[in-house]
Amino acid sequence: MTSRTRPGAAALAALLLAAATGCAARDHAPPAPETPATANGMPRGPATSNGMPRHPAAPGGASAPARFTLVASGDVLPHDSIIRQAAADGGGTGYDFRPMFAGVKPVVSRADLAICHMETVYGEEGGPYTGYPAFKSPPEIAAALKATGYDSCSTASNHTLDDGADGLRRTLDALDKAGVRHAGSARTAAEAGRPALLKAGGATVAQLAYTYDTNGYPMPEGQPWAVQLLDEQRIVTDARAARRAGADVVVVSVHWGTEWQTEPDERQLSLGRALTASATNGRPDIDLVLGTHAHVPQAYEKVNGTWIVYGLGDQIAGDMINYEGGYDRRGNQGTLARFTFAPPAAPGRRWEVVKAEFVPQFFDTARGRVLNLNAAIRAGEEQYAETRDTLREVVLGRGAARDGLVMGE
């Protein structure tokens, strides 16, 4: 492996280094060309991962409110090495990201609703494409996300304005074309004012998304609404508006935290407490908080009766470089969060999480594949047992096991 190359322009480096060092990756040699692979996970069927019918029928053929499973994953961060891997998997005919996700497709595709975090923006068709520090990723990622089973992605991150308004627009256009919904960035003021409303089981689910910053890049001229920035009152206002728009469940994706810090920082803890305490007529305004950005896995915790995932970790990334300038294996670790929601016990009450799970995952940069660690260990790859156990310790580090969080398959 060779060290990654920093940009020559000192001004750009100074602008981005403090906020984006954790997104850096060590480059390695291009992978040998491989035969194009097709993701081999099972497609979504009539049942969820816990065996419950996805859309059970009531007597007489009417649709009954059905419980649903929601799966969420962390940062998709295509460094230069990831782009080269996708080119190799494309076999000379473009970029194919589907094989990278194949290891988690069985979990993602069986969920009623699957949410990703698309950290970067897309370049023009045909390139050029770039990794750290100012990302422009191949738009073929959008089709791979759809093929894996993702329904929606948060697109608010510190890299959302890496290529200005054009990069933002290309990204949302590509997601639209692939059939993947999105939240957190917008091409118009009207789009910015609408929550992403998604159907899952018998519920309408709203996804809202916000980021702490855009690496110092200003909002595009005349577009102050282009990226949703993290603000407690704004989130609460938007969550209440989503309820009025018909949302039964409100999910908030937040790009926050301190890079390379396993423990949630004080801002995460205080904002998490405030968001989960917010309620209208006794009903919580927010039903789930999903965190990204730290590049390392962080704990799950139930706060004021609502689950918070402080940090899902990275799902797709090159060999990650920490603040000390060395490869940090934690930057390729993450979890898939899986929550099963059941309909309200009475009118006016919330949909309740009746099962909370995490699935440990790891991106093997040598193979260019994301692994479900439980599946890999069952297949005989015992070298991942220590990584899985470390992930479990981090995830349960704030007492989530007492509230029923378990490791899933």
Looking at residue 23, what is its pLDDT? 77
Looking at residue 64, what is its pLDDT? 53
Residues of the chain with pLDDT under 50: 1-20, 28-62
Residue type, 366: A
Looking at residue 27, what is its pLDDT? 57
**CA distances, 353 to each of 193, 344, 360, 396 (Å):** 28, 10, 20, 17
Residue type, 235: I
Looking at residue 15, what is its pLDDT? 40
Looking at residue 29, what is its pLDDT? 42
In order of their start, the domains of the chain are 69-407 (3.60.21.10)
Looking at residue 26, what is its pLDDT? 65
